[in-house]
Structure 1
Amino acid sequence: MKINSRIFTTVLFSTIVFISQERSFAQVIPDQTLPKDSVIIEQGNVILIEGGTTTGGNLFHSFKNFSVPTGSLAIFRNGVAVDNIISRITGNNPSFIDGILSTQGSANLFFLNPNGIIFGPNAILDIGGSFVGTTAHSILFSDGTEFSAQNPSPTLTLSVPIGLGFNKTPKTIKVLGNGSNLILGSNQQTGGLGSPVLGTGASPTGLRTRPQKSIALVGGDIDLVGGIITAFSGNIQIGSVAEGQVFLKNLSSNLTLDYGEIKHFKNIKLDEGALLDASGLIGGNISLTGKNIFLERGVVAISNFGDSSSGKIEINAQDSVLIGPPNPAFSPDASAGVLSQNFFNGQGATIEINAPRISVRNLGNINTLNFGQGQGGNVNIKADKNLEIIGQPGSVISSFILNQNVGDGTGGNIDIHSADITIKNQGVVTIFNLGKGLSGDLTLTGEEVKIIGGGRENVSGDFIPSSLGTITLGQGAGGNIVLKTKKVFLQDGGLINATTVGEGNAGNINLVAEELIEISNPSISNDFNEDNISRIVTSADIPTGALRDQLSLNVPLGNSGDIVLKTRDFRIINQGQVTVRNEGLGQAGNLTITANTIDLNNLSQITATTASGEGGNITISSHDMRLKNTSEISATAGGTGNGGNISIDTDFLILFDDSSITANAFAGRGGNIDIQALGLFVSPNAKITASSELGVDGTVTLETIETLDKLAIRTIDRMKPIDENMAKSCLTDSGTSRGTFTYTGASGLPLKPTSGVDNSPTIIKIPQPPENFTPFVPKDLSEPSHSEWKYGDPIVEATARIKTADGRILLVSSPPEEPYEVLEVLCNFKTDSTAS
């Protein structure tokens, strides 16, 4: 295994520093600050550390310098009654450990040097208990005392250590090494999709603990440059703090650190193949806490090889978590990521990442796998400000958050909370199910979700789009996708998909966006390729390429899932799609869209299609709906399947420019189309059809026309001659000519927007009164009825326009009882005392 240049430079620099110091710097030198000082016995390369001051279960040591050269062995000689070996370095030099650091019995070892600690590539821990390495200035005890390296005091305590005290600017802890051969995501290493990641729990080098013990490194900056830390079924705690107090809990078993009083943190970096591994028969725990946490070329991993539940991988950052190298020039022969695996009947470790900003980039990944009858680990991500998954187009693998279920058990869930979520350049968030068990579900909650394309075919010929999805390739059902957000943007080939290529049914997609869902592409492609377009799809697909060859997949047997979309504004632009589809023997899912406005433009589609099964139904509810420029809503069934139904309930529906709404079948019955709208506007080149090529055509029901007929174009069945009606008019009796009366019947309204109004109405002038005309005086001026007029009641002609005391303007045929003001007399109108 080669040593890279960065590690070699670091080790060479450290070696030069050690040579330049006096010989004692490379050894262990007591400082004589304890009541009973430490005693050092050198036997060749063996350094025996005896003496020290014992108080209760604590053995205290204090040194001026402490380093273990390459090939050397430093052994703390302690009695079986000692629980904790507590050592401090009070000099001014950092400690360089490149040999073996050992204790006797099951005692825990605290190693405190405020000047810094460097573990070389040959460093080995042989500790019976847990190990705490720290650059704190003191160790805190439960009785309020402290064991300080900066203010040495002979006062020692019987109490157990409970914490670490840090002054400002604590020094760095470095772990150097040759790196692991652990590779995440590479087909060469893992054997392809669904294969285990090899190498966890078995690293022969690096810092190791005994089974089910803990190792904690707590200091300023923490750098692992090719370093490997392994705790078999144990616990790894990495903390980077700027100042304050860190408290210890459960020291004897599952050590955890409490950072509740820390306000400022420093940085943690894993690079050059660094590895943190807490795998075992009982999966352990790993925790990283700092300001910025960089997994540039490093892996954090837990594999559970037993039947018990595993622990947790927890990464908490005050500012950011970055998984992947800082630039795209990253070879897949090294990995950056977080891994949880479950092999038998237990449960995989949960992965929890919390930070304001989280970035998975340049082939970085978060990966959980379940191979047994147990349950896969969950992935929980919380990014208060933003989460981004940015891939590297054209690569064999991509940046991803991935959950895989291969066995008979249940796959884990992916749960993401972030104000802003961006997936682009072949970034992938996916749940795979290759086994018999149920898949996990994928949930996203946030303010804005953007899935932006940029994917292209890799060297294997497979196209990897930027996507958010669940896929089942086996007998188990696929996972569901739930999105709750304000805005969703799918751009330039972005994809949300729930797919089956096996026997199991595809999952469902439920997307609720308070303000907007937009599915768009930058332009219309003449060379149409579905892989390059933005879309939301549930499907049963016939596999192609490497996926088909690797897993020997054929025609899918499962059903497609359902899609439910709810938003205020819904836009599909430039060949965007929303589709439920089944290319196999099963049924298509149903598609439901609820929005205030729905716009489809430039070859965009909402479709439900099957190759041979029953067609899916499409249900749409909106206020305004527009299809323009050859856009389409269709439900189509091939083979003997019946076409799906289309139901649209909207205020206004517009179909222009070759757009269409169709429900078609081949040999089965064509689907039905039911449209209810206040207004329907269809251009001559648009169409609404329900048909079957060989079977019975479906039906098209347009509630629009019937509704308009009832509301706006009811005609009088037997219209009397106009001359006869006008002769009896009050206006005729008044002796004035007030205009014309036109009666057109139903022809007064156009049949459609492109039709003109009937231009040949009957026009009759109101006749002039004869010379001997006697004005007409209404005989009945009785109190008017205030009952509401209904269709079929007699029509009473108004004789005046008045204004009531409360400001209402009324047309009346007789004076009302309440006070009023006459605004206009249309005919003879007799006022009474109530008039003003």
Structure 2
Amino acid sequence: MKQSTRSLFLTTIPLVTLGWIASINTAKAQITPDNSLGNESSVVTPDVEIKGVPSDRIDGGAVRGTNLFHSFQQFNVGEARGAYFRNPPGIENILSRVTGNNPSNILGTLGVLGNANLFFINPNGIVFGPNARLDVSGSFLASTANSLVFDNNFEFSATNPQAPPLLSVNIPNGLRFRDNPEKILVQGNGQGVRLNDDLIDTVDALRVESDKTLALVGGNLSLEGATLKTAGGRIELGSVAGVGLVRLNPINKGLSLDYGGVQNFGNIQLSQQTTVDASGKGGGDVHVTGRQITLTNGSQIEASTLESEPGGSLVVNASDSVDLIGVSPFSLVPSALVTFVYSGATSRGGDITLNTERLSIRDGAGMFTGTQGEGNAGNLFINVSSLSVTNRSLIDSSTYAKGAGGDITINTTGLLSIRDGAGVFTDTFGEGNAGNLFINVGSLSVTNRSVISASTSGKGNAGNLFINVGSLSVTNRSVISASTFGEGNAGNLSIKASELVEVLGTEEPNTNPSLRANVEREATGSGGNLTIDTKKLVIRNAQVGASTFGKGDAGNLTVNASESVEITGKVFGINPEPGKPPIRNPAGLFSQVNTQGEGKGGDLTVNTPRLSIGDGGKVQVAVFGKGDAGDLLIRASDIDIYDTPGKADFFEGGIFAGFQVDEDETTAPPKGDFGGTVTIETDRLRVRDGGTVTVFTEGDGNAGTLRITAKDSIEVFGEVVGKTTNRKFTSSISARATADSTGNGGTLILNTDKLIVRDRGQITVSSENNKLAGNLEITARTINLNNQGVITATSRGGDGGNITLNFRDYLFMRRNSEISTSAGTRETDGGNGGNIFINNLPGYRGFAIATPDENNDITANAFRGQGGQVVINSNGIFGFVPRSRQELEKLRPDDLDPRQILTNDISAISQQNPSLSGTVTLNTPEVDTNRELVKLPENVVDPTQLIAQNPCQQVARSEFIVTGRGGLPLNPNQTISSDNVRIDLVKPVANTRSFKSTIQNQQSMSSTVKQIEPARGWVFNEKGLVVLTAFDSSSTGFQRSWQTPTACPAL
């Protein structure tokens, strides 16, 4: 496959290029001076053996100060031959040009017999053949520029040849290009890649010494299997497409090229395992400048450090794009940019800097900095508009020894795409600390099993991973991780996304992505923190966690989402047992001590206006191994926890904290002291259709505390059935200890304005073992229980938990709802029953109301132990019936279960021991009947006192209406009974030994009540208001006389 790819690449070379190469290869290998220098023309002596090679020796030329000028009509060097410039004393620079119309073909050795720098320009093109090599002690510059420019405005031009001025000139300071410069081609055998740290230099290459520069500057540059070397010097590759000036600046290592005077750049292509290598005792410098720069087939640019001197720099500037593609067909060497500190080196490695519009790294290619020595690795900087890393390609900075790893910084205004098994890493496998990874991009996509990681597998600490992005998408088993696999501590993972973070998997096995800051298996270092700041976070069939699988403490996980957090689904793994269904785990946010882990779990914090958790998703702090769970804090205006019918299966979703057994692992139960505290601060909490909020223990530790404060409301309702397991998932808020655990149940505290529990919803504390059940405390303005809504505290073997309810306005129970605390079952002895305290806070005296005959019960029963207490302080209790044990024996002799009686019952009994029943105390306000009620005479009125005997007075129509109890008029035919009025407040219950029920009322207040007189007249008072008056028997009050109608003749 690789060979066919290579063939396809070769067939895409334009035919005009192939023709150009053919013309060069067939050109006559000779050197011909021109006449532009007059009597200072170059002199060529052929067939001189120089260093064992038949060569052309070039003498003569025009000397100006320390410069020697040569000018040729054509310049070619044949294979197995040499061409050497003589270096007269005092000459520092040899400047040569080709003024003819043919490109130069350098197939053999081009050298200088001395230490001078060699400049060679031919605007028609330059080819270095497969066996071409340089033998120069100074710097070497080959260019297809039109002229060399000097600081006195003199140009040594190949297209407009003139003799140099008589005055001396300094070193040239520029290369002048005209339209459409020709290319430079360098061929080779592709054997120049250094596979170990011993090969510093080779003569079989275009090479210069360690303190010199090798520069190729032309139109397009094409390097095919070529080898360019300097042992710590400088290599410059540049491509200019049009008119421009490239400045030449003298430096310690020869020359530095400045492209500030160039507007249009050409292309540079390295193929067929080309090597451009400036590695040495100290890393050299490599600078590459062009429009489109491409490395293919295992081609590499390297500037590494092998001994004690510091590394240089590797800089790539491309006005359009950089493409790093593939590996070599046979040795699998990646196409790459590399700076490395090799074994034994003690100085810092060089940096890599890449600037372009578009960077593509694909098919196994990469960018690498690292260290195997004591020196620190160099840093890697990428500044682009868009970047894609695909198909097993890497951007990596690693340390394998004492030296620290380098930082990686990626800046892009557009998209960074990492996909198809690609990765970006800062790692340590040794004693040195890993570098940091900084990603600042417009948008980031990590997909198809790709990785971004800052980690440690050694003694050194991992670096931090910072991601600043507009939107982040992680999909299809991809991972972003800041973890430790060794003794070193993990770094922190910080994600800041102005718009969106989405971590999306599917329901197919092994497709689930993750964000991690973990202590991995067998690691002993501490975990780092994971922080996500974004507008919206979406987690679907994926996991985001800061956990420990090893022996170090986990870090903290913090999510700040200014708009919303949405969590749904499950993650699926391949079951190692053939034919078995996939392994299932919940999706969500996790801070855990996992199976085989030992350490403290980190805290988990979520801050967002809206939190949605559904279909098996979880927000969880938990211990599966040994240690304590961290705390869980959620601040959200709206929280919705649910399961969708048809999707719920195997486990419920919701908010969890505690000790948990991993059903897929055969290990000891989790151990620790504390299962974590859950604190939820919200306006509205809905737990529906199988959703759950719980603190729990399935191991040797105690369950924690669950505290919920909801300014507006808490709603718990509904249940669903698993699509394959037929398991019922009931909506619940709970604190529980399972049967296999040895810890106590947790505590549950709820504060809200409105609490609604309906449609089988549950709020419960429970213990299925022999330990204590937790306590449950609810404070609200109103509490509504409807259609089998329950609030319970149950214990299977230990003492029952206590329930405390405080409500300002009312408790309303309907349709088989329940408030109960119980201890024991028929199968277990159980402890004493818990207590139910209702309204024991000052200011909380709401009404307790139940719809008659709907089986809404309040019970504090025990099976064999002491029954509990039910204490209700209320302004009014309506619809409930206190039940003694004797009454239950009559109504339900088999089980004494008030849940099987349609009335709304209040009980506190021991079902097996009549002598251990508890008490029911109902405290309601006393009504002062002496103040509020008066005794009326049997004969309510004397008709002779109300009805005038004078018929004229009867004309003044008067009436008095007597109403019965409740304000309803009496039947005209009803007689007035002389019995006193009775109002039944509570049905009397006989006081027995096994049941103590008291109704405590306020102390009666004595008062003197005057007899009420009927109104018999009215007057205007001093304010002009009508006042009803009665007859004054003492004749001392003002009495209004009847007015006689003027038309009545009887008066």
Same fold, judged at TM 0.5 (above): yes
Q: Is the 8 A contact 2:520 2:548 kept in 1?
A: yes
Aligned match of 1:617: 603
Structure 1 residues 766, 474: closer, same or farther in 2, change over 3 A?
A: farther
Deviation sequence 1:272-322 (CA, Å, 0-9, x none)? 010100011121100000000001121001121122321100000000000
Counterpart of 1:311 in structure 2: which amino acid? G
* Correspondence for 1:312: 313
1:771 is displaced (CA, Å) by: 13
Q: Deviations over 1:185-222 (max 9, x none)?
A: xxxx6xxxxxxx55763344210112211111000000
Residues 758 and 37 (structure 1), Cα distance of their counterparts in 2 relative to 1, 3 Å cut = farther
CA distance in structure 2 between the partners assigned to 1:635 and 1:261 by the alignment? 61
Residue 367 of structure 1 deviates from its aligned partner by 0.9
Change over 3 Å in CA distance of 1:42–1:648 after alignment to 2: same
Q: What is the aligned partner in structure 2 of residue 85 from structure 1?
A: 94
- Given candidates 680, 684, 693, the residue that maps to 1:688 is 693
Rate the CA distance shift 1:252–1:94 in 2: closer, same or farther, 3 A: farther
1:798 counterpart residue number: none
Tell me by how many angstroms 1:413 deviates.
0.3
Change (3 A) 1:758 1:93: farther
Instruction: Give how far 1:77 is off.
Output: 1.1
**Aligned partners of 1:121 and 1:206 also within 8 Å:** no
The alignment partner of 2:517 has SS state of strand
**Following the alignment from structure 2 to structure 1, what is the Cα–Cα distance between the partners of residues 387 and 234?**
28
| Aligned residue runs from structure 1 range 203-602, under 5 A | 203-243=202-242, 244-250=244-250, 253-297=253-297, 298-325=299-326, 333-343=332-342, 344-384=345-385, 386-391=386-391, 398-419=392-413, 420-453=415-448, 465-521=449-505, 523-525=506-508, 527=509, 529=510, 532-542=511-521, 555-573=522-540, 575-595=541-561, 596-602=563-569
Name 1:679's counterpart in structure 2. 684
Q: Which amino acid aligns with 1:287?
A: H
Letter aligned with residue 177 of structure 2: F
The structural deviation recorded for 1:677 is 1.2
What's 2:637 paired with? 651
Q: Distance in 2 between matches of 1:498 and 1:779?
A: 86
Greater displacement, 246-255 / 312-321: 246-255
Deviation of 1:488 (Å): 0.6
Contact map agreement 2:502 2:538 (CA 8 A) in 1: yes
TM-aligned CA deviation for residue 43 of structure 1 = 2.4
Q: Give the 3-state SS of the residue equivalent to 1:570 in structure 2.
A: strand
Tell whether 2:713 aligns with 1:746: no
1:113 matched to 2:118? The reply is: no
Look up the equivalent residue of 1:224 and give its one-letter code: L
Cα distance in 2 for residues equivalent to 1:507 and 1:607: 18
Give, in whole Å, the separation in 1 of the partners of 2:419 and 2:689. Answer: 41
Shift of 1:645: 1.3
Task: Quote the residue 2:988 is aligned against.
Answer: none
Tell me how far apart the structure 2 counterparts of residues 145 and 624 of structure 1 sit (CA, whole Å): 73
State the Cα distance separating 1:670 from its structure 2 match: 1.3
The change in CA–CA distance for 1:681 and 1:210 in structure 2 (over 3 A counts) is same
**Shift in alpha-carbon separation, 1:20–1:341, aligned structure 2, 3 A:** closer
User: Are 2:106 and 1:97 aligned?
Assistant: yes
Q: Tell me: CA distance 1:20–1:331, structure 2 relative to 1, closer, same or farther (3 Å).
A: closer
Corresponding position of 2:675 = 670
1:389 deviates by 0.3
Letter paired with 2:632? I
Code of the residue aligned with 2:564 in structure 1: it is T
Which residue pairs with 1:42 in the alignment? 46
Matched with 1:630 is: 616
Amino acid at match of 1:289: T
Counterpart of 2:753 (choices 666, 686, 708) is 708
Following TM superposition, by how much is the alpha carbon of 1:600 offset from its aligned partner in structure 2, in angstroms?
0.5
Cα distance in 2 for partners of 1:285, 1:263 equals 24
Q: Secondary structure at the match of 2:281?
A: coil
Q: 1:33: which partner in 2?
A: 36
Q: Which amino acid aligns with 1:627?
A: I
* Alpha-carbon distance in 2 for matches of 1:778, 1:476: 98
Contact 2:752 2:780 in 1 (8 A): no
Amino acid at match of 2:447: I
Q: CA separation in 2, counterparts of 1:167 and 1:777?
A: 117
Name the CA distance, whole Å, in 1 between partners of 2:469 and 2:616: 30
Q: 2 CA distance for matches of 1:302 and 1:425?
A: 29
Q: Quote the offset at 1:749 in angstroms.
A: 10
Partner of 2:518: helix, strand, or coil?
strand
1:60-79, aligned counterparts within 5 Å?
60-79=69-88
Separation in structure 1 between the aligned mates of residue 430 and residue 381 of structure 2, nearest angstrom? 23
Give, in whole Å, the separation in 2 of the partners of 1:199 and 1:773.
Answer: 127
What fraction of aligned residue pairs are identical, expressed as a percent? 31
The aligned residue for residue 807 of structure 1 is none
1:139–1:776: structure 2 CA closer, same or farther, 3 Å change rule?
A: farther
Task: Measure the CA separation in 2 of the matches of 1:680 and 1:777.
Answer: 59
C-alpha distance after superposition, 1:332-383 (max 9, x if no partner): 6343111111132211110000001001111110011112222101110011
* Aligned-partner SS, 1:404: strand
SS where residue 292 of structure 1 aligns? strand
CA distance in 1, matches of 2:417, 2:1020: 80
With structure 2 as the length reference, what TM-score do the two structures score? 0.62
> 1:830: which partner in 2?
none
Matches within 5 A, 1:812-823: none
2:654 alignment partner in structure 1: 660
Q: Determine the C-alpha separation between the residues in 2 that align with 1:753 and 1:300.
A: 76
How far apart are the structure 2 equivalents of 1:534 and 1:26? 62
Query: Alpha-carbon deviation of 1:128?
Result: 2.0
- Residue 500 of structure 1, CA deviation: 1.4
Greater length-normalized contact order (CA 8 Å, ≥ 6 residues apart): 1
State the alpha-carbon separation in 1 of the partners of residues 83 and 422 from structure 2. 48
SS at match of 1:623: strand
Query: Larger Rg: 1 or 2?
Result: 2
* Secondary structure in structure 1 of the residue aligned to 2:810: helix
Q: Contact 1:112–1:133 (CA<8 Å) still a contact in 2? A: yes
What is the alpha-carbon distance in structure 1 between the residues aligned to residue 308 and residue 153 of structure 2? 42
Aligned residue pairs, count = 698
Which residue among 182, 187, 204 is the counterpart of 1:171? 182
- Kept after mapping to 1: 8 A contact 2:25/2:105: no
Deviations 1:100-130 (A, max 9, x none): 1111222111101000000011111111210
Kindly provide the amino acid, as one letter, of the partner of residue 709 in structure 2: E
Give CA-to-partner distance per residue, 1:128-158, whole Å, 9 cap, x none: 2101100001100011110111111124352
Contact 1:612 / 1:638 at 8 angstroms: preserved in 2? Answer: no
| Matched-pair contact (CA < 8 Å) for 2:328–2:335 | no
TM-score (norm 1): 0.78
Contact 1:182 1:200 (C-alpha < 8 Å) held by counterparts:
no
Distance 1:497 1:19 in 2: 54
Q: Find the residue that maps to 1:26 and give its secondary structure.
A: coil
- C-alpha contact (below 8 Å) 1:201/1:277 kept by paired residues: no
Alignment partner, residue 173 of structure 2: 162
Counterpart for residue 605 of structure 1: 588
Q: Amino acid of the residue matched to residue 623 of structure 1? A: P
C-alpha deviations, 1:40-81, integer Å up to 9, x for none?
A: 111253211111110111111110010010011111112120
CA distance in 2, matches of 1:570, 1:753: 38
Residue identity opposite 1:95 in structure 2:
S
Task: Report deviation, 1:712.
Answer: 11
Report the Cα offset of residue 447 of structure 1. Answer: 1.2
Partner Cα separation in structure 2 for residue 655 and residue 468 of structure 1: 31
- The answer to whether the 8 Å contact 1:206/1:228 transfers is yes
Letter in structure 2 aligned against 1:34: L
What are the ranges of 5 or more consecutive residues in structure 2 without an aligned counterpart? 49-53, 571-586, 644-651, 660-669, 711-749, 756-777, 784-807, 820-848, 853-876, 879-964, 970-1013, 1026-1051
Aligned residue type for 1:600: I
CA RMSD across the alignment: 3.5
